[in-house]
Amino acid sequence: MLFRNRGWLPVPFLLVPLLAPGGMALRTTIIGAVLMLLGEAWRMWGVATAGTVTRRRSRNVQKLVNHGPFAWSRNPLYVGNFLIWMGVITISGVLWFLPVAILLFALEYFYIVRYEEGVLESIFGREYLDYKARVPRWIPRPPATGSAGEFFWAEAWRSEISTFLQYGVILGLFIAKDRVGPLW
């Protein structure tokens, strides 16, 4: 159920910074923007590597993607999401929420990744188990050997357009909150 409804997971990462006291500052905005840019670059590379199939809530997986950022981490999209949401919270200036957000993120994605790994193991068997033994789950590590494969950059850019628009809305809301005060 959590896997199917994972699109709602960012809601607390947005609502708390919008409703809680705290404001934007130049330093936290720069740090947050850097985190968001790094996260989106990592995420975009992952989408370009796997294609948009990774953005679906389906068990219909055709091939095990193990090149590009998937050779560095088994979950590059989630690593990118983590950096993005930590950046959003940092920009908001509600810094007390960072440790809570890290804990929430860890709990939510623990169950999602456990489910996905079970699906991949049932589909790919030994191939996935070997990949799992070789590539870290979260913290990226350069692969021991090169990893070649296709990249679908045009598809990734089209897929992420709505994400970029969401960033604009989120930043606009934070600027509005900063100008008029908490939205509560």
**Backbone torsions φ then ψ of 179, nearest 5 degrees:** -80, -40
Kindly report, residue by residue over 29-77, the tens digit of the pLDDT: 999 999 999 999 999 999 999 987 655 555 667 889 999 999 999 999 9
**All domains of the chain in start order, with CATH:** 23-180 (1.20.120.1630)
Instruction: Report residue 90 as tokens.
Output: 């940092």
Which pLDDT score is estimated for 78?
95
* CA–CA–CA angle 42, 28, 22 (5° rounding): 120
Which pLDDT score is estimated for 10?
76
Strand, coil or helix: what is 17? Answer: helix
Which pLDDT score is estimated for 57?
54
Kindly report, residue by residue over 94-151, the tens digit of the pLDDT: 999 999 999 999 999 999 999 999 999 999 999 999 999 999 999 999 998 867 788 9
Asked if residue 12 has pLDDT above 90, the reply is no
CB-side neighbour CA atoms (13 Å) of 152: 14
Spatial contact of 60 and 118, defined as CB atoms under 8 Å apart: no
Asked if residue 1 has pLDDT above 80, the reply is no
Separation of alpha carbons 116 and 134, rounded Å: 17
Confidence of residue 13 (pLDDT cuts 50, 70, 90): confident
180 contacts: CB under 8 Å, gap ≥ 6: none
- In the block, tokens 């219909």 appear at 60
Which pLDDT score is estimated for 14?
87
Task: Count Cβ atoms below 10 Å from residue 51 Cβ, excluding itself.
Answer: 17
